Amino acid sequence: MAGIRSAKLKRLNNAPQCRDPEITRSQILDAAEEEFARHGFKASRTEAIAARTGVTKAMIYYYFQSKEGLYRVVLERCATTILPTLEQMNLEQLPPQQALEQFVRQLLLHTSNNPNLPRIMFLEAIQNKGKYYRDTANLFSKLIAILERGIAAGSFRPLDSRHTAVNILGTCVFYFGALDNIKHLWPSKQMLSQEMLEQHSQEALNFILAGVRAQ
């Protein structure tokens, strides 16, 4: 997680010196992700995003046409960056329980490395009623497919795959989205420390597997 954050900060800090189009676009997206994670789409300001990257508002509009266009790309990026990794894992070739375990572990790792993801998704639901999320590729179809395969094989108990997928994703990402609330349960702990992340991942995985296994 620290490595990813430092890489983003490095891109932002180097913004005024670098005007390579791809790097500049990436710098704008990194800054916009931070802004949207704090304020959501409605309250975020393109001036603040421009200030973070050392570019003009006009340059942001050049790359993304509008604040809405920028938000759509950030949301798509947040929702899809995990997908290539999941594709490489060939989960459909694994037994259902093993596939689910690998899916959950990768989702937890990805979310711990990208804590802005659940915050942006929660604010999208609260502020925009999911208006932009419905056009975004997401994880649900992959997870539902694993669950339905496990039900058919008798590895998982009879369950509603869509409700269960929602509950699994909630178990994994709520920790990060509600971090500033639940941190009071562990006042002496650093919530994003390696120790706490490992504990959360193992507890979440145990909880999910116990809930879906056939008895």
pLDDT (tens digit, 9 = 90+) per residue, 133-190? 876 657 788 999 999 999 999 999 999 999 999 999 999 989 998 888 999 999 999 9
Residue 55 shares a structural domain with residue 140: no
pTM for the predicted model, two decimal places = 0.80
Residue 91 shares a structural domain with residue 24: no
What's the domain count of the chain? 2
The pLDDT, as a whole number, for residue 134 is: 76
The pLDDT, as a whole number, for residue 143 is: 94
Of 75, 100, 117, which residue sits at a domain end?
A: 75
The pLDDT, as a whole number, for residue 15 is: 43
Residue 71 shares a structural domain with residue 105: no
Residue 101 shares a structural domain with residue 178: yes
Residue 85 shares a structural domain with residue 65: no
Residue 195 shares a structural domain with residue 133: yes
Residue 130 shares a structural domain with residue 199: yes
Residue 89 shares a structural domain with residue 66: no
The pLDDT, as a whole number, for residue 115 is: 83
Residue 130 shares a structural domain with residue 154: yes
Q: How crowded is the C-beta side of 211, counted as CA atoms within 13 Å?
A: 18
Alpha-carbon gap, residue 78 to 53, rounded angstroms: 19
Alpha-carbon gap, residue 202 to 193, rounded angstroms: 14
The pLDDT, as a whole number, for residue 3 is: 52
- Name the residue range of residue 55's domain: 2-75
Residue 46 shares a structural domain with residue 101: no
For residue 20, give the CATH number of its domain: 1.10.10.60
Of 45, 75, 105, which residue sits at a domain end?
A: 75
Alpha carbon separation from 188 to 49, 183, 197 (Å, rounded)? 34, 9, 15
Alpha-carbon gap, residue 160 to 148, rounded angstroms: 9
Low-confidence ranges of the chain (pLDDT < 50): 2, 9, 14-17
Residue 20 shares a structural domain with residue 121: no
